[in-house]
Amino acid sequence: MNLKRRDFIKQFSCACCAPFFLTSCTEVAITNRKQLSFVSEESINKQAKQAYNSIKKTENIIRSGNQVEMLNEVGKKVTTSVENYFKEMGQFETLKNYEWEYVLIDEPDTLNAWCMPGGKIAFYTGILDITENEDGMASVMGHEIAHAVAKHSLERASQSLALKVGTTILDIALEGALSSSSADDYLVSLGLTLPFNRLQESEADYLGLAFMTMADYDNSESYKIWERMQKAQKNNPPEFMSTHPSPKNRIQKLKNWIPEVNARFG
């Protein structure tokens, strides 16, 4: 197929899926971004809880000590502030059935943290060298909680299902040409999936900044931890090949957002 194939795919998929998307859109709390959402949140949260319980049984969990106490204290302070905010805004349904929980996994070489749907949070000991202090931990905590509050996993699951439906329709129309071409898989990943994930990451950066500010932490640590992360990770892939924004871009955006967030949530 010639170069017009990509335009055809884009137009055809929009025509096929637009009515479906319009009836399946919700808004992300605070940012008001429209997102696709038709997968059961109850089902996703149940699966996440099962996976989290499995991780607690199989991973090397640190169960006591100063680091664990700090994690629980920061986690509780940030989540309580978030809950209070949504109560005040009359939007507590956003956090319906969330069960906040925090674990510290002993992996010094892993610079990571995550939050599953429904509020199941894990930090790896390696990330503590980057957070350095309570404010830094609150920044990471806010970012990970933001993924859950913004229901990004639900959105990704919905998007994945929609893509599967859309590409099946397209494959029929193109007489199997799509499924036989690895190049199209690459284009879908590069042109849709990866930028979409970067959008979620940037949204979580903004919301995380808001959440740590609500909890009265020093939000300048939001960009300082990325300065430290940048030094720790020497071989970052180019941003257009990554699911995450580059540290340089994150740092600049966070600095730009701080005055607005202080005025709005401080």
The per-residue pLDDT string of the chain (266 residues; one tens digit each, 9 = 90 and over) reads: 333 434 433 343 344 444 444 446 788 889 988 887 777 788 888 888 998 999 999 999 999 999 999 999 999 999 999 999 999 999 988 898 899 999 999 999 999 999 999 999 999 999 999 999 999 999 999 999 999 999 988 787 776 766 654 444 434 444 444 444 454 554 455 455 555 588 889 999 999 999 999 999 999 999 999 999 988 877 666 655 567 788 889 999 999 999 999 999 98
Contact 181, 171 (CB under 8 A): no
pTM, 2 dp = 0.79
| Alpha helices per DSSP H over the chain | 4-22, 41-58, 66-88, 128-131, 134-149, 152-173, 182-188, 194-214, 221-232, 247-265
State the catalytic residue, choosing from 42, 69, 88, 144: 144
> Is 144 marked active-site?
yes
- Cα distance between residue 116 and residue 118, in whole Å: 6
> What pLDDT score was predicted for residue 205?
96
- Cα distance between residue 264 and residue 209, in whole Å: 11
Q: Tell me the two tokens of residue 82.
A: 């978030």
> What pLDDT score was predicted for residue 156?
79
